[in-house]
Amino acid sequence: MIKTLTYFIAIFFIIGCKNEEKSSSEINNASKNPQKTEKNFGIVIHGGAGTILKENMSDSLESAYREKLKEAISAGYKILENGGTSLDAVTHTINIMEDSPLFNSGKGAVFTHEGRNELDASIMDGKTMNAGAIAGVRHIKNPIDLARDVMQNSEHVMLYGEGAEEFAKGLGYKMMDTSYFYTKNRYESLQKVLAKEKVQNEKKVSFEDPFIKNSKFGTVGCAALDKHGNLAAGTSTGGMTNKRWNRIGDAPIIGAGTYANNATCAVSSTGWGEYFIRAVVAYDISALMEYKGMTLQEAASEVIQKKVPALGGDGGIVAIDKDGNVAMEFNTSGMYRATMNSKGELTIGIYKEVD
């Protein structure tokens, strides 16, 4: 009996050792040959929304917009593809649009009633929920850079005007001469609006003029998801043509023009800022996802197609959620937009219909 029991114990011990060796071997093999997992990521941008009709667009101008949208989003995509952060992708992408006279931000900023360029921008980190914004600056080449520095190098969220520029000087920013921001077409747009306003005032009549209405539109923005699962969004603008009294729109307002939360999505807005502020558009989209369980597309549609128009406003957003799903929602006749997913598939749009 004792011999039999000893025999079974020996057999059990031998089998156990072999299993342990096998398990150890499997772990070693797994470490030598780890499974390759592709991290999801993506990026989406806008260059402003409004009455953008194909019949009013020359072939050369349309081509210029498409090429610049492609250049901007491709630069941000490359950063993400190489493992860079969503914040870097957003910042660099917006820089390219700020440097282009095609868009209402940076170089192509519109003019105020007094004939000045006043620039606003904001950025938000979905991982930390930290944010930075600047408004009313006149000598900053790339406002989105300064917004990011406010976020990362100050204890504040928003700085305005001369104070913001004083902060920038302390960081070594070059102050641009205001002539840098002059573009002929933007200045002529101001003159047209002023002339139409003069006619209205002299005749003491009020009428809906499409040109004046669309002087409210402009802005560039970007939202991105990186391979680390972090979201970020940023927005930069020159505001509206003929704005007065140091008016500030939604672009630098966190929750209205820009919002990012790793739990939901990242959003950048463009449109009639007064309504986007009142509707807290960017945050509302995130909140509908978080509290009502809506998808990104459902939430974006609810806000842009129902809530904003109900107030009397219009415009659009671009957004990306934590899973890489994208929304490009607008209630105007067009919005300059583009997106790229983790597969490198590029989509560019301008008009309401699918381009």
> For residue 56, what pLDDT is reported?
85
Query: Would you state the pLDDT for residue 3?
Result: 47
Mean pLDDT across the stretch 118-144? Answer: 98
Q: Residue 197 pLDDT > 90, yes or no?
A: no
296-346: pLDDT as tens digits: 999 999 999 999 999 999 999 999 999 999 999 999 999 999 999 999 999
Query: Which of 39, 92, 73, 35 shows the shortest CA–CA distance to 228?
Result: 39
Sheet of strand 334-341: strand arrangement: 158-160, 131-137, 119-125, 231-237, 220-225, 42-50, 334-341, 346-351
What confidence score (pLDDT) does residue 206 get?
Answer: 54
pLDDT-derived band at 80, boundaries 50, 70, 90:
very high
- Per residue, the 3-state secondary structure of 158-216, as one string, reads EEEHHHHHHHHHHCCCCCCCHHHHCCHHHHHHHHHHHHHHHHHHHHCCCCCCHHHHHCC
Confirm if 288 and 294 have CB atoms less than 8 A apart.
Answer: yes
Digit-coded pLDDT (tens) for 28-76: 443 334 333 458 999 999 999 887 888 888 999 999 999 999 999 999 9
Which two three-digit tokens encode residue 43? Answer: 């990026």
DSSP-derived pairing of the beta strands 131-137 and 158-160: parallel
**Mean pLDDT computed over 91-96:** 98
pLDDT of 291 over the 60 cut: yes
In whole angstroms, give the CA distance from residue 231 to residue 92. 15
State CA 61 to chain mean position distance: 23
Per CATH, domain 42-351 is 3.60.20.30? yes
Q: What type of residue is 19? A: N
What pLDDT sits at residue 210? 53
Report the C-alpha gap between 222 and 24 in whole angstroms. Answer: 48
CB 121 within 8 A of CB 237: yes
Residue 332 · residue 37 · CB < 8 Å: no
143 CB neighbour count, 10 Å cutoff: 32
pLDDT of residue 221: 98
What are the E-state strand segments in the chain? 42-50, 119-125, 131-137, 158-160, 220-225, 231-237, 258-260, 265-271, 315-321, 326-330, 334-341, 346-351
Statement: residue 352 has pLDDT above 90: no
Lowest mean pLDDT among 37-46, 205-214, 234-243: 205-214
- Enzyme catalytic residues: 219
Q: Does the pLDDT value for residue 6 go beyond 90? A: no
Q: What is the pLDDT of residues 148-171, one digit of tens each?
A: 999 999 999 999 999 999 999 999
- Better-predicted residue by pLDDT, 350 or 22: 350
As a whole number of angstroms, the distance between CA 250 and CA 311 comes to 15
- Percentage, residues of the chain above pLDDT 90: 77
Model confidence at 7: pLDDT above 90:
no
13 pLDDT above the threshold of 50? no
pLDDT band at 355 (very low <50, low <70, confident <90, very high): low
What does the mean pLDDT of the chain come to? Answer: 88
Statement: residue 15 has pLDDT above 70: no
